[in-house]
Chain A
Amino acid sequence: MLIIKNLHAEVEDKQILKGIDLTVRAGEVHAIMGPNGSGKSSLASVLAGRESFHVTEGEVLFHGKDLLDMDPEVRAREGLFLAFQYPIEIPGVSNVNFLKTALGEIRAYRNLPPMDAKDFLKMSREKQKLVEFDAQLVNRSLNEGFSGGEKKRNEIFQLAMLEPSLAILDETDSGLDIDALRIVAQGVNKLRSADNAFIIITHYQRLLEYIIPDFVHVLYNGRIVKSGTKELALELEEKGYDWLREESREQAATI
């Protein structure tokens, strides 16, 4: 579904991604871990199409199409979803209105007829249950006055409503208490299917106890330095990231 080849990118004249290779197939959950500054969130931003990030080399294919050539809204309509680390507040725009507009755009792109209000409300109520969302929160302005946990749950609620094929969760677990974490993780687990895929970016192994990944990759200094299965996450939790810095230094010395 997603093929990243030799991706290099810079932001504010600083090289932040230095050759990323990654393949994600339908039905898979990949976890990307790494210390601060390794490029995890940058990778998410580059995939989503944030303007401030410039791709200097490499290519990304999404459903066989050139992702880097698409505007961010086209990438979204193709089925790419980014659950933001810091969801933005947009006062005056209600959650419902915004979602209805977004869903309308995505459906139109896929040549589907617009959803009528009744079906939309029904779908909305169903998905709200997934993230234990209060109906009242849905009627308020987008993320306005939401607590950190509510904002993250709103991201997952939107994920449930928009039904993307690839969802990137950027440090969705940061700032969440145990209950909010459980709700978010359960929501994601219920949405997993053979047709979609998830990239979960996180520092900590905690979230991965609930959302069990098929693959774990460690990003360090703009490159994926190690890949493995869920055991790798446990190893990192035990040893920390210093061990990787050591290994990477050894590797550099032998070249």
Chain B
Amino acid sequence: METGSAITWKYPSVILQGDNSTGEFYSVAVTRNKQIADTGTKMHHIGRNTRSRIISKGISAGQGQNSYRGLVQIGSKADDARNFTQCDSLLIGDQCGAHTFPYIESKNNTAMVEHEATTSKIGEDQIFYLNQRGIDSEKAVALIINGYAREVLNQLPMEFAVEAQKLLSITLEGSVG
């Protein structure tokens, strides 16, 4: 869960040396105002039968720029390696940006590497729908963002998840309309 400094570069990574080892990376990265975040991960598959899972959710607001930079590296001896990467971007407002730089380097042809990416924005229509049900715009955005980040936040232990959710709302306060 990343709420950033003015410029953030961060790539927590995993070296999958042992056979059957797994690495998982779950991230929600938020940028607003003029923050720039370039974050991601590197998964090095070295042993046999290794698995890695990358779920990256970027939220850009204001004039924030959010980049995902991920490397999935499959070594020559890494038989039957598997990776699944899902990289989603949510844009709030029309002045922010989201960028994706996936790198896949494979030296083993038994590897299975999957990459999915989506980009969406919080539509005015969605906010109006929630308004018309009595929910004000700030709460509406918070609801939508929590839904968006849920897959990642669900991985956190409950006490931390509650705080992370609060942090998310506070970070995005005032960034709508």
A interface residues (Cβ-Cβ under 8 A, vs B): 48-51, 71-73, 75-77, 81-82, 84, 87-88, 90-94, 97-98, 101-102, 105-106, 109, 141, 158, 162
Interface 9-residue window, one of B27-35, B43-51, B123-131: B123-131
A98–B133 contact, CB under 8 A? Answer: yes
B77 on interface, CB distance cutoff 8 Å: no
**A82-B132, A88-B123, A90-B144 given. 9 additional CB < 8 A pairs?**
A49-B131, A72-B131, A75-B132, A92-B146, A92-B150, A97-B147, A98-B135, A102-B134, A105-B135
Q: A73-B135, A73-B136, A105-B139 are in contact. Are A98 and B148 (CB under 8 A)?
A: no
The answer to whether B147 and A141 touch across the interface, beta carbons within 8 angstroms, is yes
- Chain B residue at minimum C-beta to C-beta distance from A75: B132
Residue of A nearest to B122 (CB): A90
| Contact partners of A82 in chain B: CB under 8 A | 132
Chain A nearest CB, measured from B130 CB (Å): 7
Q: Would you call A73 and B134 a contact (CB within 8 A)? A: yes
Q: Pick the residue among A51, A84, A92 that contacts B147 (CB under 8 A).
A: A92
Any chain A CB within 8 A of the CB of B176?
A: no
Q: Is the CB of B144 within 8 A of A76?
A: no
Provide the bound-state CA to CA distance between A97 and B142, in Å: 12
B143 contact from A72, A87, A88, A93, Cβ within 8 A:
A93
In the bound complex, CA of A50 to CA of B126 (Å)? 12
What is the bound-complex CA distance between A88 and B123, given in angstroms? 10
Query: Is the Cβ of A109 less than 8 Å from the Cβ of B143?
Result: no
Specify which chain A residues have a CB less than 8 angstroms from the CB of B143 in the assembled complex.
90, 93, 97-98, 101
Q: Which residues of B contact A72 (CB under 8 A)?
A: 128, 131-132
Are A90 and B147 in contact, with the CB atoms below 8 A?
yes
- Residue from B131, B139, B148 in contact with A76 in the complex, judged by beta carbons closer than 8 Å: B131
Distance of A200 Cα from B135 Cα, bound (Å): 24
Rounded to whole angstroms, the CA-CA distance of A97 and B145 in the bound complex is 13
B148 contacts A92, C-beta separation under 8 Å: yes
One of A88, A102, A141 near B135 (C-beta < 8 A): A102
By a CB distance below 8 angstroms, the chain B residues around A106 are 134
Interchain residue pairs A-B with the least CB separation, the first 8? A92-B147, A76-B134, A72-B131, A93-B147, A102-B133, A105-B134, A88-B129, A106-B134
**How many angstroms between the C-alpha atoms of A84 and B136 in the bound complex?**
18
A215, B150: Cα distance in complex, Å: 47
Complex: how many Å from CA A209 to CA B134? Answer: 31
User: Residues of B contacting A50 with CB < 8 Å?
Assistant: 128
Q: Are B147 and A91 in contact (CB under 8 A)?
A: yes
Residue of B nearest to A93 (CB): B147
Which B residues touch A102, using CB under 8 A?
130, 133-135
Task: Give Cα A61 to B56, complex, Å.
Answer: 49
B contact residues around A101 at 8 Å (CB): 135, 139, 143
- Complex contact A76–B132 (CB within 8 A): yes
Most buried by B among A93, A94, A102: A93
